[in-house]
Structure 1
Amino acid sequence: MDALLKPRNAGEVEEAVRWAAAEEQPLEVIGTGSKRGLGHPVQTAHVLDLSALAGVETYEPAELVLTVKAGTPIAEIEALVEENGQELSFEPMDYGPLLGRPAGGGTIGGVLAANLAGPRRIKSGAARDHVLGMEAVSGRGEQFVSGGKVVKNVTGYDLPRALCGSFGTLAVTTSATLKVNPKPETTATLEISGLSDEDAVTALCRAMGSSAEVSGAAHLPAGLWGETARTVLRLEGFQASVDYRFQSLNSLLSGFGPVRRLEDGDSRPLWAGIRDAAPHVGKAGTVWRVSVAPTAGPGVVAQLKEKLPLSAFYDWSGGLVWICFEDGELHEAELRAAVAASGGGHATLVRATGAVAASVPVFQPQPEALAALSRRLKEQFDPNGILNPGRMVTGV
């Protein structure tokens, strides 16, 4: 076997993994490597490159169902469904620019492995919520199928949900069947300028509690994207519905300050930038992705800002905070302490130098009971520990 294994079909994936399991040879599983910087660096002699395992197997626009091979570029999938007036509603983030790589380079396998989602997660969920079925090869070198190819089929759905977000440590996905949805006719954004972080999150949460069906709720403090702080709420759907809901939201939030409306042409690039953490792209610093209760985010940022140089912005109505420590240091202990003091949450290291990233837990450490369950799951799927060893947890 060569150091680079590049299978062209599911059978060749099975053959490669079976060989690696028999020889106890660890494999780094990648697509195009656009998210290779996430997690701990994987030290292996062999790379299982799935980029040649690409292509659309079936697409039935009328049934809102798409089956694709794991190495299919996500940009090609999004272009295909857009041609048919449809979209991937979980709005997968493109990590490429944030990690110093070109935009649009990821694959659907990587999207599922990282369980990606964009600002619309507050309404539509993450990648795992749109998976109908998956075909994969376990670390034992055994092919398996879970789920189905129709929207009403829920058999085996829990297994795809377990694989999504496992970063290729449990099995190698070879194909996936996804739900797609009609693309909204139009998009509009309600913007309020000049709010503090605390007032902004209060406004976002009030909007989320309304009947306006908000599909994006974010706050960009002053200096990140312009000199003035921007609090933005996205509305999508038919034009008449968007207009009605905008007026309703305008009345609800009138006490927070003057409102501006951004139409479709200005809204889409704004939300694409929020999705891809554009305020932290192209500048030096260590980047963390922090998930807390929406109302807790400003407090976490304020506590850290008292002692540390940082910039931050908020998505998911304040529940997702992107923090960049501008001195390039990790500040892991201070960050995790602030998150714990806020009532709990998760902090994931997204961008740092390889040597630094290897020195700390990249993902939020799990409570022992949950960690034990994760180890048992790993032992069931990959008893020899050959798939992306140490990617998520050192030694696992």
Structure 2
Amino acid sequence: MTETFRPESDTQVAELLSWALAEEQPVEVIGRGSKRKLGRVTQAAHSLDLSALSGITLYEPEELVLQARAGTSLAEIQAAIAEKKQELAFEPCDLGPLLGGEEGQASIGGVLACNLSGPRRIKAGAARDHFLGASAYSGRGTLFKTGGRVVKNVTGYDLCKVLAGSYGTLAVMTDVTVKVLPVPEKTRTVLVRGLDDAAGLLAMTRALTSSHEVSAAAHLPQVIAACSGVGYVRDSDGGVAAVRVEGPAGSVAHRCQALRDLLADLGSTEELHSHNSNSFWREVRDIKPFVGDERAVWRISVAPQAGPAVAAAITAQVAAEHFFDWGGGLLLLATPAEGDCAAAVIRSAIAAAGGGHATLLRAPDNLRAGIEVFQPQDPAMAALSHRVKEAFDPVGILNPGRMRAGS
């Protein structure tokens, strides 16, 4: 019989894992369920729902540190730190709507377990770079703690880096500690309109290699720009390159004008101020252009200069739509949800461009079960991953099959 367990304490987590280990009963580990359809279909009859392990347990704004139970909603954390004019600088994306769920249901533990980072990653780093510490239970049923409340606190193995991006296959986190940072005084975005992919890449590259401290850079082809809720973007005649600057008001105004001068020869420029700027980057962050349809969605990481060529190679063979984030280094792509969802074409294009990673973010369950959702590993890396999994979860009771078949 399938059961969903909702432990309300660490003791109950330990008891449940001891039972699962003794009975060799695999469990699906979820925070609040918003990313349940991210990754492969988990091969487990029972679910371990951590949503009852909720609440902020420590917040020291002066020390830029917050600790919370792993099932705490991201929305609760963001509301609490916003009162102190602080934020999670890695700009975590909310994939709930993209995956057919509700907005605002993500948990902090789930965000860290999936290492989800938004447009500011090119400046602030990934989620794992802001992950300071955790209390967790391994698949052996034993409690371990890693990290602490400051950045330079690691002796031995930095297990936070191992847990980030493990999708709950190594351990069940019960408490996490993260770094928070002040919200920038001002945020503005410079748009360059009427650009194709190549010109959009040139605009982003110029901005990012300038001295103007760009915190995000994206390019939307015309068909994607036309779907934006921001008028200046939606009404553009062609694709739109967008670069964001943040900081003190005077500095932001100066840098915006300097960027407009720098990019003026590529196309007409416009400027988004705080509200429109924030709305635009939420659209990019949460992959809003592909929310609400039935297509498969891929997240492809390549060398920024290779982005347009990879997109062109794929769209020449498959009916697909795309846009770029991370200065061209992240390609978001929607393809028909049939067959292998263009996996062979995508991975061939990546290989031809010198390598990269492609992750299938969204597809029907029956297709996700038969596709390599994550980038296939070479033999040496696969062997290392297997050894790490065995060290944490030798019987394979935690999210089996979530990342790779049989593990």
- Matched ranges for 1:65-214 at <5 A: 65-155=65-155, 158-214=158-214
Letter in 1 for 2:186: T
Q: Hey, what does 2:257 align to over in structure 1?
A: 247
Deviations 1:180-220 (A, max 9, x none): 00001111000000111011111101211111111110001
**Counterpart for residue 257 of structure 1:** 267
- Asked if 1:280 corresponds to 2:283, the answer is no
Deviates more, 1:248-257 or 1:162-171: 248-257
| 2-structure distance, mates of 1:157, 1:110 | 22
Q: Report what 2:248 is aligned to.
A: 238
CA shift, 1:79, in A, is 0.7
Q: Does 1:291 align with 2:297?
A: no
Q: 1:316 aligns with which of 311, 321, 326?
A: 326
**Structure 2, gaps ≥5 residues long:** 227-236
Query: Matches of 2:256 and 2:157 in 1, distance apart?
Result: 37
Q: Check whether the contact 2:2–2:45 (CA below 8 A) recurs between aligned residues.
A: no
Shift of 1:326: 3.9
SS state of the match for residue 189, structure 1?
strand
Is 237-246 or 321-330 further displaced after alignment?
A: 321-330
Residue 150 of structure 1, CA deviation: 2.4
Deviations 1:355-384 (A, max 9, x none): 011111100001110110000000000000
In structure 1, C-alpha distance between the alignment counterparts of 2:198 and 2:252, rounded to whole Å: 27
* Cα pair distance change 1:24/1:331, threshold 3 Å: same
What residue in structure 2 maps to residue 345 of structure 1? 356
Q: RMSD over aligned Cα, in angstroms?
A: 1.3
Could you say what secondary structure the match of 2:195 adopts? coil
Distance in 2 of aligned mates of 1:293 and 1:380:
33
Match status 1:267 vs 2:277 = yes
Post-superposition Cα deviations, 1:239-277, rounded to whole Å, max 9, x if no partner, equal 011012112222222221221111111100000000000
Does the 8 A contact of 1:289 with 1:322 survive in 2? yes
Letter in 1 for 2:175: S
Q: Is the 8 A contact 1:147 1:156 kept in 2?
A: no
Query: Paired residues, what number?
Result: 396
CA deviations over 1:73-109 (Å, ceiling 9, x no partner): 0011011100110000000010111111111111001
Q: Secondary structure at the match of 2:146?
A: strand
> For the Cα contact (< 8 Å) 1:361–1:393, is it kept in 2?
yes
Show structure 1 runs of 5+ residues with no match: none
Q: CA deviation at 1:2?
A: 7.8
Q: Report the equivalent of 2:392.
A: 381
Letter in 1 for 2:317: K
User: Partner of 1:32 in structure 2?
Assistant: 32
Equivalent residue letter for 1:151:
V
- Asked if structure 1 preserves the Cα contact closer than 8 Å seen for 2:296 and 2:336, the reply is yes
Paired residue type of 1:206: R
Range moving further from structure 2, 323-332 or 67-76: 323-332
Alignment of 1:10-25 (within 5 A): 10-25=10-25
Q: Which moved more, 1:354-363 or 1:218-227?
A: 218-227
Q: Answer with 56-65 or 156-165: which moved more.
A: 156-165
| TM-score, normalisation: structure 1 | 0.98
Separation in 2, partners of 1:305, 1:391: 29
Note the alpha carbon deviations across 1:145-186, whole angstroms, 9 max, x for none: 011112342335621100000000000011111110000111
Distance in 1 (CA, whole Å) between partners of 2:151 and 2:161 is 15
Partner of 2:369: 358
Residue 57 of structure 1 contacts residue 68 of structure 1 at CA under 8 Å; is this kept in 2?
A: yes
Q: CA deviation at 1:395?
A: 0.4
8 A Cα contact 1:220 1:229, kept in partner: yes
Contact (CA 8 Å) 1:119, 1:217: kept in 2 or not?
yes
